[in-house]
Amino acid sequence: MGRGRMDDATIATLAVMFLVLLFCWNYSFIYPIKVFVVLLHELGHGLAAELTGGDMVRIELSSNLGGVCWSRGGIRWLVLPAGYLGSMLFGGIILVAAAKSRRDKDISTVIGLLVVGLTLYAVRNLFGIVFGLLFGGAMIAAGHALPEKLNDLLLKFIGLASCCYAIIDIKEDLISRTVPGSDAYKMAEIFPLPPTVWGVIWILIAIYVTYQLLTIAAEGDKG
C-alpha cells in the first residue's frame, strides 16, 4: 500500500515552524528545547547500553548544551551512535504522535512525567536535575492547562526542533569540527574509518529517517 495523501494544513504548519527555527535558532526561547534534546541524546546512549546488556549509570547536563551519560557494558558500537540518532528518533516519534493523535494533552503530560521520572532516576548534577524537573513540570502543566490545539503545536515544534538539532549537532561536532573524544572518535577506535566519515554516515542516516518521519507526520490523519 502507498502512503496516504499529504495534509496541506500540516505541511504548512511544519513549514512555518521550520522557518521559525531557521531564523530564531539562537533565541532564548529555543534554549530549553536544545537542552531537552541533549537529554534525549544522553538517554539514547543509556537506553542502547541497557538494551545491549549493559547499564545506564548516570546522566549529567550542563548549561552550555553539553551532556554526558556514564554507562557500563553494552555493545559499544551500538551505544556510540545512539546519542545523535536516538535524539532524532525520539523527536520524530513526538512529531508523528502529535500529527496522528487527537490526545495531545495526554501526550504532553506523559512526556512531562517521563522527563521527571528520568531526572529522578538517572540525572545526577544540579543543573540537570533543576532543568529536568522544570521542563517536565512545564510539559505536565501544558497538558493540563492548554487546549488540545496548543498542545498539538507545542509537540510538533518540539519534535521538529529535536530532529533539526540532532542533524545540526552531528554536522557541527563530527563534520565541521571533529572533537577529540567525541562519539565519532570513539567509533573510529573500533572501526578503522576517520571520525569525519562516521559523522557523514550518521548524518545521512539522520536526514533519511527524519525525511521519512516528516512524510508520515505530513499525512496528518488524526485518529
> What's the pLDDT score for residue 1?
43
Please report, rounded to a whole number, the percentage of residues in the chain having pLDDT higher than 90.
69
What single letter denotes the amino acid at residue 130? V
Q: Tell which residue, 109, 91, 77, has the closest CA to residue 40.
A: 91
What single letter denotes the amino acid at residue 150? L
CB 84 within 8 A of CB 166: yes
For 87-116, the pLDDT digits (tens) are 999 999 999 999 999 899 999 999 999 999
The pLDDT profile of the chain, 223 residues, written as one tens digit per residue, is: 455 567 788 889 999 999 999 899 899 999 999 999 999 999 999 999 999 999 999 999 999 999 999 999 999 999 999 999 999 999 999 999 999 998 999 999 999 999 999 999 999 999 999 999 999 999 999 999 999 999 999 999 999 999 998 888 888 766 666 667 778 888 988 998 988 898 889 999 999 999 999 888 888 666 5
Interatomic CA distance for residues 166 and 41, integer angstroms = 8
Rg (CA), the chain: 17
